[in-house]
Structure 1
Amino acid sequence: MATGTDQVVGLGLVAISLIVFTYYTAWVILLPFIDSQHVIHKYFLPRAYAVAIPLVAGLLLLLCVGLFITYVMLKNQRAAKKAQ
C-alpha cells in the first residue's frame, strides 16, 4: 500500500504530465490553425522547438539508460571477479 507521501508525489507527477501533454498538444495540433497575429501565440515557443525539445529529451533519456546499464554491468563484473 502506498503511503501518503507516495500518493502526493504520484498525483503531482500525473498533474505535471497532464499539463505538459495539454500544452504540447495545443502547441502542435491547435496552434497552426490559429491566425499568427493572435495573442495566444505569445504563450508558445516557436514551432521549431516542437521537434527539437522531444528529440533532445529522448536522446538524454537514451543516454541515461545506457549509462545506467553500463554502470550495472561493470558493477556486476567487478563483483564476479571478487567472488572468484
Structure 2
Amino acid sequence: MGIFVISTVVFLYYTIWILIMPFVDTTHPVQNIFPSREWAIKMPVILLLSAAAIIGSFLGIVMVRS
C-alpha cells in the first residue's frame, strides 16, 4: 500500500509540474515548489539510462557466470 501511495504522489507531482505549471505566472509563489522545467526531461532520461545500465550489468554478470 505504501508503494502505491508513493507512486501516486510522485505521478501527481510530475503531472502538475508538466501540465499545469507552464500556465501559472512565473512570479507566483507556487513556482518555488517545482524545479525548472528542463529537469522535467533530464530526470526521466537519467532514471531510464541508469535502470538500463543496471539491468544490462546484471544480465552481463549472469551470462558470464553461466
Interval of TM-score (by shorter of Structure 1 and Structure 2): over 0.9
TM-score of the superposition, structure 1-length normalised?
Answer: 0.76
* Greater relative contact order (Cα < 8 A, sep 6+): 2
Residues 30-56 of structure 1 show CA distances to partners (whole Å, capped at 9, x for unaligned) of 000111111110000011100000000
Residues 24-81 of structure 1 show CA distances to partners (whole Å, capped at 9, x for unaligned) of 00000000011111111000001110000000000000001101100111111xxxxx
| RMSD, matched Cα | 0.7
> 1:53 is aligned with what amino acid?
M
TM-score of the superposition, structure 2-length normalised?
Answer: 0.95
1:21 aligns with 2:14: no
Q: How many residues align?
A: 66
- 4+ residue stretches of structure 1 with deviation over 2 A? none
* Structure 1 alignment gaps of length 5 or more: 1-10, 77-84
How far apart, CA to CA, are the structure 1 residues paired with 2:21 and 2:38?
13
1:49 aligns with 2:15: no
The percentage of counterpart residues that share the same residue type is 33
